[in-house]
Amino acid sequence: MRVGKIFFLTVLALTLFLIGLVGGKRNWDGWLLSRLPYDKKEATSADVTQDKSGLLGANERKVLYWVDPMHPKYKSDKPGKAPDCGMDLVPVYADEETWAEKPPEGAFKIPTGKQQLMGVRYGTVIQAPMKKTLRAVGRIVYDETRIARVHPKIEGWIEKVYVDFTGKLVDKDQPLVDIYSPALLSTQQEYLLAAKAREHLASNSFKEISSGAVSLYESSRKRLLLWDIDEKTIDEIEKAGQPRKALTLYSPIRGFVLARNAYERQRITPETELYAVADLSNVWVLAEIYEYELELVRVGQKAQLELTYFPGNKFEGIVDYIFPQLDSNTRTLKVRIQVPNPRYLLKPDMYANVTFHISYGTRTAVPVEAVLNSGAEQTVFVAHENGFFEPRKVKIGGEVEDHYIILEGLKPGERVVISGNFLIDSESRLKSAMDSMVGMGHGPAPEKGKAETGKTGETKINEPESHEGHGQSQPKSEHRH
C-alpha cells in the first residue's frame, strides 16, 4: 500500500514537472519575442505561424502586414479580426504587395482553403477559329422548275399511246402519243399546196405572186410548228407529199412520269393534261429551322445531307431560297436547298438530316460555364494572382458549341472561374453590401489603407468611426513597439 502511494506521487510529480517545462518554454519564447525589435519580431512571428501550419520550407515568404479579405484597404501590422465584419485578417507577403495595394475596382480576396470548399475551378479565355454546327430535319420534294406538263394544242383523238404507266422514266424527245385531228390534217394539206405553189411560182416575173406563195408556205409551216409538230416531221411530210392521219407528241424533258391521262381513242382538247413529267436529276430539300437560328443561315450557304437509308453517303447542296413566312404552330421557317441527284438516289418525300457548318472566324471566347447571365447583364469572374477575384461585365455574342463568343470585356489568356461562380458571386455581393454600409455610417475609408501612428507610439489601422448597425462592437487591432 505504501509502495503504491510512493509510485503515484512520483508519476504526479513528473507530470507537473513536464507541464511546467512546456509552459516555461512558451513564456521564455514570448519574453524573447517581446524584447526583439519590431521587424525581427514580425519575421519571427511569421516563422512561428509557418511552423504551426507545417509550411516551413526552404523559401520562406516575408509577411508585410495583414488585411481584411473583403476590404483590402484595411491593414494591420499583426493578425487579428477585421474591424467592420469580424473576419480573420489574412497575411500579405512581399511578392503580393503590388496586387494588394492596387486591386481592380470591386476585386476581393478569397483564401485558398475557402476556394477549395467552394469547388472553384478555372478556365482560360481563348482566341481561336470558332465554328458551329446547326442541325435540322429536311424533306425532299420535286424541283418545281423541272416539271413539264404535256397538253395538246389542238382538238382530236388519241390514236396510239407509247407511255402507258405512271413512274416510267422517259428521255427527252421520246414519243408519248399519236393524235388524229381534222384541223391538223387540213393544215398539212394546206402546207403541201403552199409548197407546190412556191415551187411553181418561184420563177414568175410578177414578184407579188411569187412572194405571196412564199408567205403562204411559211405561215402554214409556222402553224404546224406552233402545234408542237417538230421540223423533222414537217420535212418528212413535205418530202413524201402526203399528209399524215396522226401526228406524234414527244416528251419535252428527260424525267419520270408523275401523272398520266392518255388512253387510246380518248377525245382530247387543249385543256387536257396528258402527262406530267419531273426531272429528278436535281431536287429540293425543305429544311425547317427555328426563328432564333435564322441569322445563322444565308442564301448561297452550303449544306450537307445524310439519310438513314444510305449510311455513309453524304450529299452536298446549296441554300437558294429562304421562305418569307413563319409557321405559327412550330415557330419554324423553311429553307430551300438545291441538291444534285444524278443517280436518282434521293426520292421525293424522303426525310434527311441537314447540317449547316457556320464559321465565325477567329474570335475571343470563354466556356459557357464562366458566364453568369442574368438576362439584363452578363458577368464573368476573372481570377488574379494571390486569390483575388474581379467581377467583370462582358458582352457576349453567339453560343458556339460549349463556348460563348466575347464581344468585349475580356482578353485572350485571362483566367476565369468556370465552377463555383454562384458562391463567388455571393461573396462579391456581400462585399458590395459591406462597402455600402461603410459609406452610409461607418466613417470614411482609410486613405490607401495605410496605418496611423499615435502620439503614444502605438501603431493602429484606420478604422470606421462607428460600428453601429453591426449589432456588436469589434475590437481594434493594435500593436506596441
CA dist., res. 232 & res. 219, Å (int): 17
CA distances to 69, 142, 189, 427, 429 from 382, in Å: 17, 55, 95, 14, 15
In the numeric block, which cell numbers belong to residue 412? 485572350
Amino acid at 132: K
Q: Which of 408, 341, 354 is nearest to 378 (CA)?
A: 408
In the numeric block, which cell numbers belong to residue 239? 418530202
Decide: 70 and 434 in contact? Cβ < 8 Å. Answer: yes
CA dist., res. 263 & res. 163, Å (int): 10
Task: Name the CATH topology of 134-142+280-360.
Answer: Elongation Factor Tu (Ef-tu); domain 3 (2.40.30)
pLDDT in tens, the chain (481 residues): 555 566 666 656 666 555 554 444 444 444 444 444 444 444 444 444 444 444 444 456 678 778 777 666 677 888 888 777 777 887 877 655 555 556 667 788 888 888 888 889 999 999 999 988 999 999 999 999 999 999 999 999 999 999 999 999 999 999 999 999 999 999 999 999 888 888 777 666 666 667 777 888 889 899 999 988 888 889 999 899 899 999 899 999 999 999 999 999 999 999 999 999 999 999 999 999 999 888 889 999 999 999 988 888 899 999 999 999 999 899 999 999 999 999 999 999 999 999 999 888 899 999 999 998 888 889 999 998 878 888 899 999 888 888 999 999 999 999 999 998 788 888 777 766 666 655 554 444 444 444 443 433 333 444 444 434 344 444 444 444 3
Query: What is the side-by-side strand order in the sheet with 63-67?
Result: 75-76, 63-67, 90-93
* 334 burial type by CB count under 10 A (0-12 exposed, 13-18 middle, 19+ buried): middle
CA dist., res. 403 & res. 130, Å (int): 9
The residues spanned by each domain of the chain are 60-104+432-480, 121-129+362-423, 134-142+280-360, 146-276
Decide: 110 and 117 in contact? Cβ < 8 Å. Answer: no
Q: Which of 193, 198, 225 is nearest to 209 (CA)?
A: 198
The CATH code for residues 121-129+362-423 is 2.40.420.20
pLDDT in tens, 97-121: 555 556 667 788 888 888 888 889 9
Q: What is the number of alpha carbons within 13 Å of residue 242 lying toward its C-beta?
A: 4
In the numeric block, which cell numbers belong to residue 96? 503580393
* 160 burial type by CB count under 10 A (0-12 exposed, 13-18 middle, 19+ buried): middle
CA dist., res. 309 & res. 318, Å (int): 22
Decide: 301 and 318 in contact? Cβ < 8 Å. Answer: yes
**The pLDDT of residue 199:** 78
- The two most distant CA atoms of the chain are separated, in Å, by 174
Pick the CATH number of 146-276 from 3.60.15.30, 3.40.47.10, 2.40.50.840, 2.40.50.100: 2.40.50.100
CA dist., res. 361 & res. 363, Å (int): 6
Q: Which of 124, 119, 129, 120 is nearest to 401 (CA)?
A: 129
pLDDT in tens, 213-266: 788 888 989 999 998 888 888 999 989 989 999 989 999 999 999 999 999 999
